[in-house]
Structure 1
Amino acid sequence: MNNRTRWLVLVLVLGVAGVVALWPRDKSPEPPTPTRPAQDVAALRAQAQLRPCVPGAPGGVDVTCLGDGTRTALALKGPMLINFWATWCQPCQQELPVLETYAKQPGAVPVVPVLVDSREADGLELLAKLGVRLPSVFDGADELRKRVKAPKPLPATYYVSADGLVRQITDPPYFQTPEQVEKAVR
């Protein structure tokens, strides 16, 4: 095979490859995200056995109580500890049982876990698995997180004082012992 024939074959192969690469293709739609039927969520609520949420207050942020699925207005009136968490967050999964243990201590500040960036059903499933029964809420619209200007990295914990001042707790980055929680809310 001479040089001219080699070049002709090369150009022909490149031309076919270019046509194949540029040929329009039908885009198949993304598969739908599976959703759980309502009865499954009800069963997960029953399994999680969360304590009831505090009744809503005027001027509060609209959230969903994970324990019963009702909408409630969470007021930023303290003292209170707000903990933003998600099901995919490994430090959150370690921190939630610590918050549960702290909350059972006499004189503990009320703790409100706030599920974000996850589905309600997945949050209920994780809380049941971890044995966390704290009254918890779901902030699907991120309204509460926006109100306190919480960052995207999780977990993010805030202390709300009796006079309504909100401060982020950054030391430690997430709680590993109930004593750390107690020290942070003093």
Structure 2
Amino acid sequence: MNKHVVAYAVAVVAVGALLVLVVPGMMRQTPEDQIAQEPSQEQQAAQVAPRPECGARGVAGVELSCLGAQPQEQQQTQQPDLSAEGVAVVNVWAWWCAPCREELPLMERFAQEHPEYRVVGVHADAKAAAGAELLNELDVDLPSFQDGDNSFAGALGLPSVVPITVVVRDGEVAGVLPKAYADMTELERDVREALA
């Protein structure tokens, strides 16, 4: 008998034996077993690196948790909505987004140079720990809300892209800027135009 035929037959038998051993175990796992394996919100929050407090319970009428704030530390702040009064500039980003990685330091600089605006991020991904890790890696102290279920973008009807900059005046969306910024002058101009 040919060596290739023997090797092929042995491989088929090995795969078959593996399937006989593995498939029954997979069939016994119930959805409840899968849910039990997923970490709770408290466990997920404990795994997220500490980050600056957001100072509010949400922005633009959407209630969100603060990325990196531990549940016991998220007390009822005096201000339920960051954008209820004045102007907020909200940067929607995700940990896996390369343009976001470039834009986040610029947003922090924008916040420092424009104290007349409340500048905050919204991390639009379920992996909060990865979001906090990226901000820490970039040495960006910009407070960010955590939006693991896309409620912010959904409530405001935002396009399904990141990054997006949302300009909010007195709780109402004044402008949606779905592009990445690399230039401070362009960002400042677009925010001014959204408020005009």
Looking at secondary structure, tell me which structure has more helix per residue. 2
Q: Shift of the alpha carbon at 1:79?
A: 0.9
Which residue pairs with 1:55 in the alignment? 56
**Structure 1 Cα separation of the partners of residues 190 and 91 of structure 2:** 13
**Structure 2 Cα separation of the partners of residues 34 and 149 of structure 1:** 30
Pairing 1:103–2:100 present: no
CA 1:71–1:176: 2 relative to 1, 3 Å? farther
Which residue pairs with 1:66 in the alignment? 67
**Structure 2 Cα separation of the partners of residues 67 and 86 of structure 1:** 15
Alignment check: 8 A CA contact 1:66 1:137 kept: yes
Tell me, which stretches of 5 or more residues in structure 2 are unaligned?
Answer: 1-15
CA 1:175–1:71: 2 relative to 1, 3 Å? farther
Alignment of 1:79-118 (within 5 A): 79-118=87-126
**Structure 2 Cα separation of the partners of residues 163 and 141 of structure 1:** 21
* Percent of paired sites with the same residue: 29
Which residue pairs with 1:26 in the alignment? 23
Q: Shift of the alpha carbon at 1:53?
A: 1.1
Which residue pairs with 1:119 in the alignment? 127
How many positions carry a matched residue from both structures? 160
Tell me, which stretches of 5 or more residues in structure 1 are unaligned?
Answer: 1-19
Alignment check: 8 A CA contact 2:125 2:149 kept: no
Which residue pairs with 1:177 in the alignment? 183
Bigger Cα Rg: 1
**Structure 2 Cα separation of the partners of residues 86 and 27 of structure 1:** 38
Alignment check: 8 A CA contact 2:60 2:173 kept: no
CA RMSD of aligned residues (A): 3.5
TM-score, normalization: structure 2? 0.66
Q: Shift of the alpha carbon at 1:62?
A: 1.8
User: 1:133 aligns to what SS in structure 2?
Assistant: coil
TM-score, normalization: structure 1? 0.69
Which residue pairs with 1:14 in the alignment? none
Alignment check: 8 A CA contact 1:63 1:71 kept: no
Alignment check: 8 A CA contact 1:63 1:137 kept: yes
Partner letter of residue 188 of structure 2?
E
